[in-house]
Amino acid sequence: MSGSVLSVRDLTVRAHVDSGPRTLLDAVSLDLGKGEILGLVGESGSGKSLFCRSLVRLLPSSLLKIESGSVLLEGRDLMRIGDGEMLKVRGGEIGMIFQNPTSHLDPVMRIGDQIAEGIRYHQGLGAREARVAATEILAQVGFPDPKRQHDSYPHEFSGGMRQRAMIGVALSCNPKILIADEPTTALDVTIRRRSCGC
């Protein structure tokens, strides 16, 4: 598809275990244009999360390998770039909202600083400007007192609030693509309704 922001071709991931290699993703292909929304549907364990992680080369185990295929982000193959360049892509060009915010937020780092860190790295802002931007993002994702809550730690929030913080981290650098792995799972019912327009 011409004009695709993201074009995945024949992405194959295998697990290399004692009993031999097992194919977990088998030649998956898709295209995503600018402004498009694409939903992956499948039963638990079908490989949706693994596919999302494969796009940004964050496989959950060293036993898993991307065996073949390409992931083209505006024509650049993310499977062929170096680790340093991939760091710039993650967050800066592709944001990801993980399914479990507790395991992806640093427990000893303030929530606001976790958002500001990406802003400073990807946008080159100073500490003061990044703090202002992070506080604005906290307000956008529904924190009732963002200036005070900027300096709070993940354990001080409910699962729903941690999920909002994770969404804030993913949105902080205005990525070209936002990958959301069940982003409303941890949100409370009223916020979930507002998020899906129910």
Q: How confident is the model at residue 127 (pLDDT cuts 50, 70, 90)?
A: very high
Among 145, 143, 150, 104, residue whose Cα is nearest residue 127: 150
pLDDT for the residue numbered 30: 95
Cβ-contact 140, 118 below 8 angstroms? no
Judged by average pLDDT, the poorest of 44-53, 59-68, 182-191 is 182-191
Please compute the mean of the pLDDT values over residues 137-148 and round it to a whole number: 94
Residues 6+ apart with CB under 8 A from 148: none
pLDDT for the residue numbered 196: 46
Residue 61 buriedness (CB in 10 A; 0-12 / 13-18 / 19+): exposed
Helix (H, G, I), strand (E, B) or coil at 166: helix
- 87-100 residue pLDDT tens: 999 988 999 888 77
- 147-195 residue pLDDT tens: 999 999 999 998 889 989 999 999 888 899 999 887 666 555 545 455 4
pLDDT for the residue numbered 188: 56
Please compute the mean of the pLDDT values over residues 119-127 and round it to a whole number: 91
Walk me through the domains of the chain, giving residue ranges and CATH numbers. Answer: 4-80 (no CATH), 101-196 (3.40.50.300)
Give me the percent of the chain exceeding a pLDDT of 70: 91
Q: How confident is the model at residue 86 (pLDDT cuts 50, 70, 90)?
A: very high
pLDDT for the residue numbered 187: 56
pLDDT for the residue numbered 184: 64
Q: How confident is the model at residue 38 (pLDDT cuts 50, 70, 90)?
A: very high
Residues 6+ apart with CB under 8 A from 111: 105, 138, 149, 150, 151, 152, 153, 154, 157, 165
pLDDT for the residue numbered 1: 45
C-alpha distances in Å from residue 137, one per residue of 67, 127, 141, 191: 38, 15, 6, 16
* pTM exceeds 0.85, yes or no: no
